Structure 1
Amino acid sequence: MAARRDLGPEYEDALVDSFLDKLDVEIAARIRNEVAAQLRHQPPGPVVKQRDGAVGVAMGSLALGIPLTGIAVGNANLPGLLLSWGGIIAVNFAYAISRRSQR
């Protein structure tokens, strides 16, 4: 407040910005210290498994299979249907094989 009185109103914005910068640094330091203290005192938690994308691949295959079936049957009848679903099955099979090799 004394600096504000000494500098006058033309420096008020700069003074407020400087104060807020110092306050921001102080708050960030306190938060870092509190988080570090909590991490030191917490027992290790349970191991969390990574999410498996198999459900997403299966749902995506079904979602794409519906319009592909209509297009394939409309254009190429049974051979188109077999080709489109053969491709969908091949993608799912390749995904399943890649998951097994990662384990």
Structure 2
Amino acid sequence: MTDITSQQPPPATGRPVPPPLPPPSAASSTREDLRAVMAARRDLGPEYEDALVDSFLDKLDVEIAARIRNEVAAQLRHQPPGPVVKQRDGAVGVAMGSLALGIPLTGIAVGNANLPGLLLSWGGIIAVNFAYAVSRRSQR
């Protein structure tokens, strides 16, 4: 055990920082780690208590996350693959809507403005479909 008189005082600003604990071996358990933290608290004194607790909790968080990742990975390995979910494509709806609106617009445009009306109505339909195609391409 270390001598308390030979230790450096905690820094004047912020929380005291305990000396780094040695890295745990693969066989160490959480219980042994907690015992080590408690022994360090006895050696270092109460001014390092918060830092020791935070250090232990951080290590515990890492261990819990690793256990969860391992369990999820094990469960995913044992699950049969699910059905392939096909994403709905809105392009068919836009194309069908364009054709459905294009037929009456053609009749109205030709009846009122002849060739310029026809070109304007189908130019608008083409512009809408082009804008939709460009927006889909940028999403990929």
TM-score by length of structure 2 reads 0.43
Rg bigger for which structure? Answer: 2
Q: Post-superposition shift, 1:58?
A: 0.4
Q: Deviations over 1:26-82 (max 9, x none)?
A: 999999999999999853414423111111100110000000000000000000000
Q: CA RMSD in A?
A: 7.1
The CA deviation at 1:10 is 71
Give the CA deviation at 1:20.
47
Unaligned runs of 5+ in 2: 1-37
Could you list the runs of 4 or more consecutive aligned residues of structure 1 that deviate by over 2 angstroms after TM superposition? 1-44
Shift of 1:11: 67
How many residues matched?
A: 103
Task: Structure 1: state its 5+ residue gaps.
Answer: none
TM norm structure 1: 0.57
| Structure 1 equivalent of residue 68 of structure 2 | 31
The partner residue of 1:70 within 104, 107, 114 is 107
Query: Which of 41, 59, 63 matches 1:22?
Result: 59
